[in-house]
Amino acid sequence: MRTHEDRIFYYDASNGQTYSYSDLFKSLNMTSYEYENIYSNDIYRFFNRLLKSIILNKPQILIDNDSTLDPVNNDSGKNVHISSFDHFKEMLENSKSEIGLFTSGTTKKPSLIIHTVDKFINNARIGSKYSNNIWGFSYNPTHMAGMQVFFQAILNGNQIVDIYKKSKHHIIESLLKSEVTHLSGTPTFFRLLVPMSEKFTAVSKVTLGGEPTSNNLINILKSIFPNAKFNNIFASTEAGTIFASSDDTFNINDKIEPYIKIVNNELIIHKSILGKSDKIKTDWYKTGDIVEVICDNPKKVKFISRKKEVINVGGEKVNPNEVESIINSHPKVSFSKVFGKKNSVTGFLVVCQIKKIKNSKLSENDIREYLFNKGLEHYKIPRLINFIDQIETTKTGKIKR
């Protein structure tokens, strides 16, 4: 039986890079360099630098390539001495370090939120039943979702298979070759993968998060991952994971209820469960997430949209996620992005970009008629439709608005 140290820690199918846990410990033990403000061009190196600061109880800030912060490194002369996987795990669990994450900036300027390492440790599920998990890592490692997967994987000595920003071909190869068991990503990540003829029978858990997801997408994924349980996560950089469910609704359980308020359909969270940040000024923090209360007992909500995403068409409010969901249900549509176009008559007008399924014929009229027949109100039907090849996504794998 393989010891923990011999197991693979990191694997990248696009270049064959493979590192075991003992490789990781060796490289950590060898260097006396310390790094501040780390970014993720080379993910294995990024993990190395992050782990070093965690073990040395130093704070760390995770940045993206376009950050105004500069990466810093210096030869501090401080070395770590990891003797075994258990020793390594213990050092992580005892770490007093803090990690600074920038919000994804989907609808506003990114701000820095600081979380203690033990918050990530406490959120992870550790135990022998998790020891054989193999993770498909699609998230940006410098943001919340990536960090959560990272800690979950490393505390259990799991393998991380790098599929971040890889081509569809490499992702498929990785999933098959490594027999990935756990796959996490944004709904946009998954939508860009489908349609797919391959089936991945080794995947036992699929987790979606970061954007509203539709049951339609979950159903498509169920046929691609026939043995998987589905998990839909409602999380934010400020709070970490708040709720999880197996479909597009979320239960607010007793544990979390005291910290949650819903005012004017906006989700409001008490600061005691949030990370530290300059922008969290009051006791109750407005998340800017609009939800619909489906049920009061037990309390169940559905995530509708980000407040700022709402398109105001002459006073009528349009949720772009809702319109996208219906457009995406058209068999010839691969992907869509709905947004508002400014004008002096109605304020905004609903317009969209659509990526067709390869080699299919689809016209603007086809889409409009389809939406009309689905009962979509006239002011929600996009007035301008652009067929395009690529849709822009953000650093955290969400649709760029």
Partner 1 sequence: MNEKKNEIFDLIKMVIDKKNNSSLNQKIEFNADADIRDNYGLDSLDLAELTVVIEDRYGIDIFETGIVSTINEISEKLKE
**Contacts to partner 1 by CB under 8 A:** 313-314, 341, 343-346, 349, 351, 364-365, 368-369, 378-379, 383-384
Local structure of 218: helix, strand or coil: helix
Cβ-based nearer residue to partner 1, 198 or 377: 377
Q: How many CB atoms lie within 10 A of CB 69?
A: 15
Least distance to partner 1, CB of residue 342, Å: 8
CA distance 337 to 393: 10
Cβ-based nearer residue to partner 1, 92 or 323: 323
Cβ-based nearer residue to partner 1, 177 or 378: 378
Least distance to partner 1, CB of residue 352, Å: 13
Nearest to 48 by CA among 72, 29, 63: 29
On the CB side of 277, CA atoms within 13 Å amount to 25
Local structure of 190: helix, strand or coil: helix
Least distance to partner 1, CB of residue 337, Å: 17
Least distance to partner 1, CB of residue 313, Å: 7
- Side by side, which strands form the sheet with 159-162? 17-20, 8-12, 159-162, 134-137, 182-185, 205-209, 229-236, 240-245
- Please provide residue 386's backbone torsions phi and psi, each rounded to the nearest 5 degrees: -120, 125
CA distance 176 to 9: 17
Cβ-based nearer residue to partner 1, 165 or 368: 368
Cβ-based nearer residue to partner 1, 113 or 350: 350
Output the six-digit token pair for 368. 């409009």
Nearest to 380 by CA among 354, 350, 355: 350
Least distance to partner 1, CB of residue 280, Å: 38
Local structure of 257: helix, strand or coil: helix
Least distance to partner 1, CB of residue 305, Å: 21
Least distance to partner 1, CB of residue 399, Å: 21
Cβ-based nearer residue to partner 1, 117 or 376: 376
Cβ-based nearer residue to partner 1, 57 or 386: 386
Detail the DSSP E strand segments found in 68-158: 72-75, 98-102, 112-116, 134-137
**Alpha helical stretches, state H, 31-143:** 43-55, 85-93, 117-123
DSSP string of 314-342, one letter each residue: TTEEE-HHHHHHHHHTSTTEEEEEEEEEE
Local structure of 105: helix, strand or coil: coil
Cβ-based nearer residue to partner 1, 302 or 368: 368
Least distance to partner 1, CB of residue 354, Å: 15
Cβ-based nearer residue to partner 1, 384 or 388: 384
Least distance to partner 1, CB of residue 89, Å: 58
Vertex 400: Cα angle to 171 and 138 (nearest 5): 25
CA 23 to chain centroid, in Å, comes to 28
Least distance to partner 1, CB of residue 307, Å: 23
CA distance 67 to 102: 10
Cβ-based nearer residue to partner 1, 204 or 346: 346
